[in-house]
Amino acid sequence: MEPEKFREFMKKGAVVCVQLTPFKEDEDVDYEGLRDNTTWLVEESKGEPLVLVPVGSTGEKYALSDEEWKKVVRTVVDAANGKVPIMPGASHSGTRVAIERAKYAQDIGADGIMVVLPYYHVPEEEGLYLHYKRICDAIDIGVMPYNNPDVSKIYMKPHLLKRLVDNANNIVAVKENTPFIPTLYEHIKTVGDKVPIMQGRGEWWFAATAFLGVKGYISGYANFMPKICFDLLRAGLNGDFKGLKKIIEEKLDPYEEFIAKMCKKYGPSTTILPYPYVSSYMIYAVMKTTMDMLGLKGEHMRLPLLDLKEEDKKELEKIVFEKLGLNKVK
């Protein structure tokens, strides 16, 4: 998909599913499981505005070797077979390495790439701008900057994002992860007329900020409950705030309360980031366990992240089948 067409697709509204990477008990990647998950999700979402993002943060991209990263991306591109846009995470702190990944994604048929802010060393503003500008200039497919201070300890402010959008013609959307709503709104007012701003913090935050003009959201839950995710998207885009409230309260609140309970149980977190930034990533283990319960391939985490213990699965099972109302995959 050409960047201009991709940008227009995103402007109409989309659920951007960040895919989980299934690991076997020995922590090897389950490529066949990933292929099956992708095929199911594409078919289950037929006709809906879905974008797939393998090897993002949710896909534990930092825990993959270069060869594993390539094979995961190729597996998803092949399994989707052009039916939905694919936008793998092609992030790296080093600009040259990020460009190599971006070119690989383009060469095997991806429609775009997602690029998180460079982490580890803190670049100056000019360095941050040039990081993205050179990645954009190196490829002909779409780019979605991932403005996430949770994982990078830096942040791209609206004026710098505007400079990038004004000077790179293949930016198709921005995944915005700030927990500060006035800052989110400033981004929308600054660049939202040119590129869509996607709510990067998931379902609850999309429901809370849909009225501001976000054009969709990034979802881990779409890995296993895409229909609920698309219902939420439509409600938000149509200004159906009663519908949003109903989905959040009746479906998602019980699930997210369980996640919060697990984060507290398995803590304390080692983060030094202040509230309300992420304090625990047990959410990924909960989502993988949910997929297993439904007959998909969630499987295991890779260290240093932890799996959910058996003692916690019974409570989760009740929520999945009774509160979310999900059915096992046939």
Active-site amino acid positions:
146, 175
Show the tokens assigned to 143.
């780019």
User: Please, which residues have CB within 8 angstroms of residue 69's CB and are 6 or more apart in sequence?
Assistant: 55, 61, 101
How many whole angstroms separate alpha carbon 22 and alpha carbon 35?
10
